[in-house]
Structure 1
Amino acid sequence: MTVLEMLRGARPSADADDTGGEPTPSWLPEPVRDVGVGLLTALVSLLVVVVPTVLGWLLDPRAGDSFADPLGAGASLWLLIHGAHLGAGATNVAFVPLVLGALVVWIAARGAGRALDTADVDDAFAADLLPRSVLVVAGRWWLGYAVGTGLAAALTLAGSLPLRWLSLPVALAVVPLVALALALRRLARAADVLGPRLDAVVLPDTVRRAAGPAARGLALLLGAASLVVVGAVALRWGEVTSLQSELGAGFLGGLLLVAAQLAALPNLALWVVGLLAGPGFSVVDGAHTSLAGATSGLMPLVPVFGAMPGPGEFPWFVRLLVLVPVLVGGHVGRRSLASVARLSSLRTKASVAVVACCLVAVAVGVLDGLGGGSLGAYRLGDIGTPAWWTALAVAFELLVGALTVVAWDAWRLRR
């Protein structure tokens, strides 16, 4: 039995025995149990980051470092994944590997779901939103998670990656709230927990029909961009492995470095989306890469950056890559047509396609904004692709492809 399962049993259960069934007495008060689940959720998530950091240090300790240094570094990285910023003075690190971010949210959602499983879904609604018991349990779980976040913040004082304390509220809010929303969504599927106010909120039919095509379009766009990243690494494999060996990270350290770069693959894919859409991206200030060409700059010692193209203008046919988002838009248009009746009006079909393209563009902008764009100070203070310019360019190119498909479909029907 896991610790979370033990805590889950703290509330009375309705298990029946031969005599008709008496509630099993809890061994923890309900408030303590709910806070404990939140605290354990945060600690489990924290260990996922701290344990590899400490293991890497144990196998390759640095002279003068104490055991507190990797603990503090791991806690800093965990808070960074939650959206907090690190650094002091002009140095600001704000970069969230999106794979690790998704993992942290998943762990938090699982913990929140365990806590909400024992809430009384038949309790009276609070402000016609959710049952009071659900809101109380959610609040206690969040309090426990906040305590765990506070412990992680205290651990950063022992490391060399200082926390920017003004950004701590972001770590306290974003991941726990997203996790609670996911847990409540799962609970709402199993029980009627939405009050009249929430139950009355209905998405427009156009948005509901556009959600599926938008999800497929986003997956296709990021998948194509990820293939570009993998292809660039394969083409310049020698430069990438040379940088990896120059770092002297050792075997386990090398594995951790590779894992960290794989965790940032969606971030790099978003940079490539910016490249395909037109705005391009920068690894350091003064080293910009677009479909027209690349400029040089002193790169940070990150092996994957060895896959960057050399400085100079690209051949003319590279500019044709701007058609990739247009082709993805065509796929979104096809899926949008499939989501409505064949004889629906042109306005209905076009509306679904436009909304789907806009949803993809907004998702690209939000994901790039969440991923962050700073790895240090000065020339590393603003990296990646401009999120909102990229979102606007993606929206335009997707719309070109999607509306072309919708117009072609309308022309075929009128023949």
Structure 2
Amino acid sequence: MSAEGPRTGRPSATTTRPGRRTVPGGADRSRFFTSALDGAPRWATGALASLQAAVLSLAALTIPSVAAFVATSADPSNAGVAWPQAVGVGAAVWLLGHGVPVTVASTSVTLVPLGVSLLALFTCYASARRSGVATRSAYAAAVGAYAAAAGLVALLVGGGGGAAARAVVGGAVIGALGLGAGLLRRPEAPSLRALTRPAWSRVAPWARAGGTGGVLASALLVAVSALVVTLWVVAGRATVGDVVRGLNLDAVGGVVLAFAELAFLPNLVVWALAWLSGPGFAVGLGSRFSPTEVVPTPLPAVPLLGGLPAPDLVGPATAGAPVVLVVVGLVAGWYVHRRVRPTAGWHALAACAVTAATAGVLVATLVTLASGAAGPGRMASVGAHGWAVGGMVALGVLVGSALVALPGDPFVRARVRRLLRVPDRDGAPPDED
């Protein structure tokens, strides 16, 4: 990141390519983090952009809650419910998306709706890209303001100091990721590659390739898991329809339920990843959904859960689902093979190990975030064990990447020729160590 330049007295600049401007006189500067609002303090503009993002994502949840309250206000059973309570419900769900547990009737709900987290990330990204200011001070102020806003909301809903502290931490993480991504999309900002080059350049090339390969493997696994969820929902569409008809919802209730299901749809995708990996997942104590076994228990009347695998879907075909991990590892191994130029015999294997470790850690983090308590009793256990799933992913990716990267490594091939005493292409016998 470059330092902030003066606001006035600069010569006019012409854009040569995204993220670069040519200043008359021949100086080509990367004007990362420069103000878009003349005369406005850059830190204040960044803080306002983050507050805008917080208000937008919070309103997206509180408005449906208030609409549901208005639509049901004539019901005698809701006579003692005031509209601020509807706002509090929306705010509590918003906080839950930032990792703050919610207490409902003395029961702690810790299951993070990843859809709410993605909504908050998107509003941060969009707000920073549209009206953010690409300066270091503005970025720091934006993240700080967003974290403070999350803490304030936690205090207003009566969460106490512990909830406010968790909200500040969760808000700082979401704000740093979303706002940072939005600022990097500003016209004057350089690419992420250029920004991180000083740090990445100090890392060994095989480690860089392995880390990128691990991210690629994780992204491919999430994409395959989304496809699996689609197949589940199509296969269970009859059950989903029966649950919807049994609820007998009106238009407002249907819209609210649809929003609620969208909030947890990414969680289902992560659970499908746990299913693909082998350990599977649970939706309530005593239940298990895995490629080799389905042990169902009574589930809440939620249409989305009607798409979970049924016992009759388990068979020899599903038992081989973890092979997908090896296939994804093959793709990641091909990427590593194309990127690594080994100068020692262990570089290819080390790159594969970094690829597997990166994918395992990323998947374990996702699974941990997508798991928790969704209610009292049996619903206190929902999701999967993050490190068990991450370990299986790391093992599968390691095997797949090694099957591609190691045979293509010249040092490995030379070692194999020496062991088998196979002559080189020119007919000469292999060198002896």
If the length of structure 1 is used for normalisation, what is the TM-score?
0.77
Partner of 1:44: 56
The question of whether the paired residues in 2 share the 8 Å contact of 1:368 and 1:387 is answered with: yes
What does 1:17-32 align with in structure 2 at a 5 Å threshold? none
Provide the C-alpha distance between the structure 2 equivalents of 1:378 and 1:266, rounded to a whole number of angstroms: 24
The question of whether the paired residues in 2 share the 8 Å contact of 1:287 and 1:296 is answered with: yes
Provide the C-alpha distance between the structure 2 equivalents of 1:179 and 1:35, rounded to a whole number of angstroms: 14
Is residue 388 from structure 1 mapped to residue 400 from structure 2 by the alignment?
no
Please list the CA deviations of residues 347-401 of structure 1 after superposition, one character each: whole Å capped at 9, or x if unmatched.
Answer: 3233222212221111111112223422122311121110011101111122122
The question of whether the paired residues in 2 share the 8 Å contact of 1:90 and 1:378 is answered with: no
What does 1:146-225 align with in structure 2 at a 5 Å threshold? 146-157=147-158, 164=163, 167-179=166-178, 181-182=180-181, 190=189, 199=198, 202-225=202-225
Is residue 288 from structure 1 mapped to residue 300 from structure 2 by the alignment?
no
The question of whether the paired residues in 1 share the 8 Å contact of 2:278 and 2:291 is answered with: yes
User: How far does residue 77 in structure 1 lie from its aligned partner after superposition?
Assistant: 1.0
The question of whether the paired residues in 2 share the 8 Å contact of 1:207 and 1:352 is answered with: yes
Partner of 2:97: 81
Please list the CA deviations of residues 236-259 of structure 1 after superposition, one character each: whole Å capped at 9, or x if unmatched.
Answer: 111111112323332343244334
Which amino acid is 2:177 matched to? V
Partner of 2:119: 103
Please identify, of 243-252 and 74-83, the stretch whose mean Cα deviation from structure 2 is larger.
Answer: 243-252
Please list the CA deviations of residues 106-142 of structure 1 after superposition, one character each: whole Å capped at 9, or x if unmatched.
Answer: 32245456776264xxxxxxxxxxxxxx34x344334
Structure number, greater radius of gyration: 2
The question of whether the paired residues in 2 share the 8 Å contact of 1:115 and 1:138 is answered with: no
| Matched residue count | 379
Structure 1 pair 28–68 and aligned structure 2 pair: CA distance change class (3 A): same
Please identify, of 253-262 and 322-331, the stretch whose mean Cα deviation from structure 2 is larger.
Answer: 253-262
Structure 1 pair 365–188 and aligned structure 2 pair: CA distance change class (3 A): farther
Partner of 1:140: 141
The question of whether the paired residues in 2 share the 8 Å contact of 1:293 and 1:312 is answered with: no
SS at match of 2:372: strand
Please list the CA deviations of residues 215-270 of structure 1 after superposition, one character each: whole Å capped at 9, or x if unmatched.
Answer: 33222211222222111111111111111232333234324433443443332122
Provide the C-alpha distance between the structure 2 equivalents of 1:214 and 1:57, rounded to a whole number of angstroms: 46
User: How far does residue 188 in structure 1 lie from its aligned partner after superposition?
Assistant: 12
Provide the C-alpha distance between the structure 2 equivalents of 1:230 and 1:154, rounded to a whole number of angstroms: 39
Please identify, of 51-60 and 350-359, the stretch whose mean Cα deviation from structure 2 is larger.
Answer: 51-60
Provide the C-alpha distance between the structure 2 equivalents of 1:316 and 1:326, rounded to a whole number of angstroms: 18
Please list the CA deviations of residues 2-59 of structure 1 after superposition, one character each: whole Å capped at 9, or x if unmatched.
Answer: xxxxxxxxx9666999xxxxxx997876665554343333212211222233334434
Provide the C-alpha distance between the structure 2 equivalents of 1:32 and 1:396, rounded to a whole number of angstroms: 48
Partner of 1:339: 339
The question of whether the paired residues in 2 share the 8 Å contact of 1:60 and 1:250 is answered with: no
Is residue 234 from structure 1 mapped to residue 234 from structure 2 by the alignment?
yes
- Mark the runs of 5 or more structure 2 residues left unpaired by the alignment: 1-5, 13-35, 423-433
Provide the C-alpha distance between the structure 1 equivalents of 2:305 and 2:408, rounded to a whole number of angstroms: 43
Provide the C-alpha distance between the structure 1 equivalents of 2:166 and 2:104, rounded to a whole number of angstroms: 12
The Cα RMSD (Å) is: 3.9
Provide the C-alpha distance between the structure 2 equivalents of 1:322 and 1:284, rounded to a whole number of angstroms: 23
Partner of 2:357: 358
Partner of 1:55: 67
Percent identity of equivalent pairs? 26
SS at match of 2:346: helix
Provide the C-alpha distance between the structure 2 equivalents of 1:338 and 1:139, rounded to a whole number of angstroms: 38
The question of whether the paired residues in 2 share the 8 Å contact of 1:375 and 1:383 is answered with: yes
Which amino acid is 1:41 matched to? A
User: How far does residue 310 in structure 1 lie from its aligned partner after superposition?
Assistant: 3.8
Provide the C-alpha distance between the structure 1 equivalents of 2:348 and 2:37, rounded to a whole number of angstroms: 58
Is residue 69 from structure 1 mapped to residue 85 from structure 2 by the alignment?
yes
The question of whether the paired residues in 2 share the 8 Å contact of 1:327 and 1:401 is answered with: yes
Which amino acid is 1:404 matched to? L
Provide the C-alpha distance between the structure 1 equivalents of 2:199 and 2:315, rounded to a whole number of angstroms: 55
SS at match of 1:95: coil
Provide the C-alpha distance between the structure 1 equivalents of 2:41 and 2:403, rounded to a whole number of angstroms: 62
Provide the C-alpha distance between the structure 2 equivalents of 1:347 and 1:219, rounded to a whole number of angstroms: 26
The question of whether the paired residues in 2 share the 8 Å contact of 1:91 and 1:381 is answered with: no
What does 1:256-405 align with in structure 2 at a 5 Å threshold? 256-311=256-311, 314-341=314-341, 347-405=346-404
SS at match of 2:373: strand
The question of whether the paired residues in 1 share the 8 Å contact of 2:206 and 2:348 is answered with: no
Structure 1 pair 382–204 and aligned structure 2 pair: CA distance change class (3 A): farther
User: How far does residue 291 in structure 1 lie from its aligned partner after superposition?
Assistant: 2.4
The question of whether the paired residues in 2 share the 8 Å contact of 1:112 and 1:138 is answered with: no
Provide the C-alpha distance between the structure 2 equivalents of 1:255 and 1:25, rounded to a whole number of angstroms: 39
Please identify, of 257-266 and 80-89, the stretch whose mean Cα deviation from structure 2 is larger.
Answer: 257-266
SS at match of 2:102: coil
Structure 1 pair 325–108 and aligned structure 2 pair: CA distance change class (3 A): same
